[in-house]
Structure 1
Amino acid sequence: MSGEAERKAATRQAAFAARKAAFAAGQGQAAELLADVLAAERGRVLAGYMPMRTEIDPLPAMAAHQGPVGVPVIIGAAQPLRFREWTPGCALETGAFGAQIPAEVAWVEPAVLIVPLLAFDARGYRLGYGGGFYDRTLEGLRARGPVLAIGFAFAAQEVEVVPIDATDQRLDMIVTEREVRRF
């Protein structure tokens, strides 16, 4: 394992622990702050995610969005994500890695993404789970036009520096239970 890979692995391990502790403490005003940010994106296609384990929950903000909403679908290893249209109460099935995805196959292409993460830093970089799905997705979407990438996390998930490489995509903002920060 290279030095950079070792740093990412160590940062992921610490971030999982920080997120677990923050999750136990509660989500505070996170969903309300996220919904306020998304109000300015009314009518644009939004992609959120179905929270797993101790991820902060974007579902209330997704449900309040005034426009189409999708959730990610893993197509295959080293592939960008695609997004199935989601509505509150829609039929779900289990997708890759156990994530819930809409059973109906209606695809949407987002202009705004709520991005899950393990850690983030003050520069706007995020550390994900290591598959590179969001980095590939953001790179492809940004090549076609403007896309707003919003990291959604607990404030406790902030680290001094996220180890990055050339393929890592920067977030445009981060929303936590405490604040909204633009990069």
Structure 2
Amino acid sequence: MPSARLINFSVFLTCIALMLVAFYFEYVKELEPCPLCMAQRVVVVAIGLIAGLAALQNPKQWGLKVYGVTLFLVALAGIGLAARQVWLQHLPEDLVPACGPGIYYMLDVFPMQEVLTNMLMGTGDCAEVVWQDPVLQLSIPSWTLIWFSFMALVFITHLFRKPLNSAEQNN
């Protein structure tokens, strides 16, 4: 099994790659992110920062468990957000919530509490499938859900990792 440091560093690099893909879709393909997309980006950045810190710190047994639980909980939040968006995308048209203003407009005009509520609940914009991969026909939130689920499984390994020697058990 790879070291915890290598796993955390790999997750950090994966999060950078995911954000680069998100920026590619936004700035090259000109797909404006919906509120739920932005919330998922926040979770990706949070996971990346925490995993990067864990890779730098390289904690031993108890520290690794703390990072593992923290990262697992953040990944669960991402799973919830991505699952909500996938659910919205599969609603019948008459049940889709009304579209709201764009996220950047909301950040400029609305109070932060309302922006956060819209980010977490989603709007009709979040139900629109703006891109699907050509092979599996999965939308961006479907892929994000897969990535968050994979990361949650990876972080569970931190919780059950056995110490390599007796000196690590004391840390």
Indicate whether the TM-score tops 0.5. Answer: no
Structure with larger RCO (C-alpha < 8 A, sep 6+): 2
TM normalised by structure 1 equals 0.28
TM-score of the superposed pair, with normalisation by structure 2? 0.29
State the structure with more CA Rg.
2
Greater percentage in strand: 1
